[in-house]
């Protein structure tokens, strides 16, 4: 079995109110030196065994068609 | 500036309805060989420069106190 780990993050320049809220919460808790917080999604998918190249193409397709909103988000993934 | 990348995932055994919904959606789209999907959170924090050991202690503290719900979630992070 292979495990795909996908990181989905907002593109640079896209406002991230959730990240801003977390940053303020960290400030209120007294954490210093926090310059920016960006929130993203992590998707872990267990895939049936198969050729690595096909798995990569499949995961890319999943990101494009369902997991990421490519207008405002970008994704990276690794398969292990 | 240092960048902390935090992965927050549900502990094993904790039900993940969002992951289940994504799995079904992938099935409906015709993706085969998807055995399990687990959804998690990704938090990227830009930290002011400082000693690595202190940064690690700080990020661990942020996870324990705000970012993760350690009853049902676990976290890992790296600082680069």
Q: Is A33 left (phi over 0), alpha (psi -120 to 50) or beta?
A: left
What per-residue confidence (pLDDT) applies to A18? 98
Q: Which of A5, A20, A29, A44 to mutate to probe the B interface, most B CBs <10 Å?
A: A44
User: What's the number of domains chain A is made of?
Assistant: 1
What's the domain range around A75?
Answer: 2-79
Residue B52 contacts A where some CB pair is shorter than 8 Å: no
Chain A partners within 8 Å of B22 (Cβ): 43, 66-67
pLDDT (tens, 9 = 90+) of chain B, 80 residues, equals 999 999 999 999 999 999 999 999 999 999 999 999 999 999 999 999 999 999 999 999 999 999 999 999 999 999 99
The answer to whether the CB atoms of A40 and B44 lie below 8 A apart is yes
Whole-angstrom CA distances from A14 to A27, A28, A71 are: 22, 24, 10
Q: Work out the pLDDT band at A52, boundaries 50, 70, 90.
A: very high
Percent of chain A with pLDDT strictly greater than 70? 100
The answer to whether the CB atoms of A48 and B61 lie below 8 A apart is no
Chain B residue with minimum CA distance to A8: B42
What per-residue confidence (pLDDT) applies to B15? 97
Chain B partners within 8 Å of A7 (Cβ): 42
What per-residue confidence (pLDDT) applies to B32? 93
Whole-angstrom CA distances from A67 to A41, B8, B67 are: 9, 18, 23
Residue B14 contacts A where some CB pair is shorter than 8 Å: no
Q: How does the average pLDDT of chain A come out, rounded?
A: 97
Residues contacting A54, CB < 8 A, separation 6+: none
Q: Work out the pLDDT band at A78, boundaries 50, 70, 90.
A: very high
Query: Are residues B6 and B46 in contact, defined by beta-carbon separation less than 8 angstroms?
Result: no
The answer to whether the CB atoms of B50 and A33 lie below 8 A apart is yes
The strand ranges marked E within B1-80 are 2-10, 34-47, 73-79
Domain with A22 in it: what CATH number? Answer: 3.30.1280.10
Written as six digits, the tokens of A23 are 């940053």
């Amino acid at each position: 079995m292979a495990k795909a780990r996908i990181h989905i993050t907002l593109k640079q320049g896209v406002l991230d109110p959730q990240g801003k809220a977390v940053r303020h919460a960290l400030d209120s808790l007294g954490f210093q030196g926090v310059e920016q917080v960006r929130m993203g999604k992590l998707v872990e998918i267990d895939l049936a065994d198969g050729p690595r190249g096909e798995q990569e193409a499949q995961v890319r397709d999943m990101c494009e068609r369902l997991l990421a909103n490519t207008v405002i988000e970008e994704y990276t993934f690794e398969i292990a």
